[in-house]
Amino acid sequence: DGGITQSPKYLFRKEGQNVTLSCEQNLNHDAMYWYRQDPGQGLRLIYYSQIVNDFQKGDIAEGYSVSREKKESFPLTVTSAQKNPTAFYLCASSIGSWYGYTFGSGTRLTVV
Amino acid sequence: SQQGEEDPQALSIQEGENATMNCSYKTSINNLQWYRQNSGRGLVHLILIRSNEREKHSGRLRVTLDTSKKSSSLLITASRAADTASYFCATEDQGGKLIFGQGTELSVKP
């Protein structure tokens, strides 16, 4: 089945650590996106990539980094510079915004 | 930056009733999309309405778009307990990225 897979489902980070969230899709979509969702809030765009080896900052990119070495993969690293990383992270892909986005099931990151 | 704003923020109804959620946006759009999110899960694309369309149906869903008022509504008819979820509208910014509203939390009581 085609889809988009995020792992892990739950992730715990200690102060000062970098952690990487995985996002893989087998939909052959060119564009991929990372959003952050805080409790009771909408989605805020962190980074997006419309083609391999290229990506752009979204509205809240500070403290995050990404790579897009393969079409299928768009990992997000939450660095120690992100002071308030506890949130629900959602990855999405699309063939074009006219066709809607396909979302993964999310990773819940908690700072311990 | 928030483009769409949903109203109401929360809605509680009985099974069998209709649920209406509204979305307002600020700039001109190519299309407007509605998504559903079950608690703790990813979003699911429900329906897309183009800027030159006024109404669109999909099963028990009916979406309207009024570009003169920069607003859209999502109607769920004959609601079921399984419709309990958060519903988000999304519009495309100039860079082709979707900007999501804050969402309406719908609770359908059996």
pLDDT per residue as tens digits for the range B47-99: 999 999 999 999 999 999 999 999 999 999 999 999 999 999 999 877 778 99
Residues of A in contact with B1 (CB under 8 A): 59
User: End-to-end alpha-carbon separation of chain A, Å?
Assistant: 35
Of the candidates B40, B42, B8, the residue with the CA atom closest to the CA atom of residue A100: B42
Burial class from Cβ neighbours inside 10 Å (0-12, 13-18, 19+) for residue A79 reads middle
pLDDT score of B104: 95
Of the candidates A34, A16, A17, A37, the residue with the CA atom closest to the CA atom of residue A25: A34
pLDDT score of B1: 45
Rounded percentage of chain A residues whose pLDDT exceeds 90: 82
Q: Other CB atoms closer than 10 Å to residue A38's CB: what's the count?
A: 12
Q: What's the Cα-to-Cα distance from A12 to each of A9, A16, A104, rounded to whole Å?
A: 10, 12, 19
Give how far B96 is from chain A: nearest CA, Å: 7
| A42 vs B33, B48, B101: nearest CB | B101
pLDDT score of B12: 97
Give how far A53 is from chain B: nearest CA, Å: 18
Average pLDDT value for chain A: 94
Q: Is the pLDDT of residue A1 over 70?
A: no
Residues of B in contact with A108 (CB under 8 A): 40
Q: Is the pLDDT of residue B16 over 90?
A: yes
Across residues A100-105, what is the average pLDDT? 95
pLDDT score of B52: 94
A32-76 pLDDT, tens digit each: 999 999 987 889 999 999 999 999 999 999 999 999 999 999 999
State the number of CA atoms in the 13 A half-sphere of A90 facing the CB. 22
pLDDT score of A41: 81
Q: Is A58 near chain B, with CB under 8 Å?
A: yes
Q: Is A13 near chain B, with CB under 8 Å?
A: no
The dihedral sign for the CA sequence B14, B107, B56, B73: positive
pLDDT score of B93: 79
Whole-number Å distance between alpha carbons of B22 and B108: 17
Q: Do A100 and B40 touch (CB under 8 A)?
A: no
Q: Is the pLDDT of residue B3 over 80?
A: no
| A100 vs B45, B96, B105: nearest CB | B45
Mutation target to probe the B interface, by most B beta carbons within 10 A, among A97, A99, A107, A108 is A97
Q: Other CB atoms closer than 10 Å to residue B8's CB: what's the count?
A: 12
Contact yes or no for B15/B110 (Cβ under 8 A): yes
Contact yes or no for A80/A34 (Cβ under 8 A): no
| B42 vs A45, A99, A104: nearest CB | A104
- Residue with the larger pLDDT of the pair B87 and B7: B87
- Residue with the larger pLDDT of the pair B93 and A103: A103
Contact yes or no for B70/B89 (Cβ under 8 A): no
At residue A15's C-alpha, the angle toward residues A10 and A18, to 5°, is 65
Q: Is B10 near chain A, with CB under 8 Å?
A: no
The pair of three-digit structure tokens given for residue B76, joined into one six-digit string = 């769920």
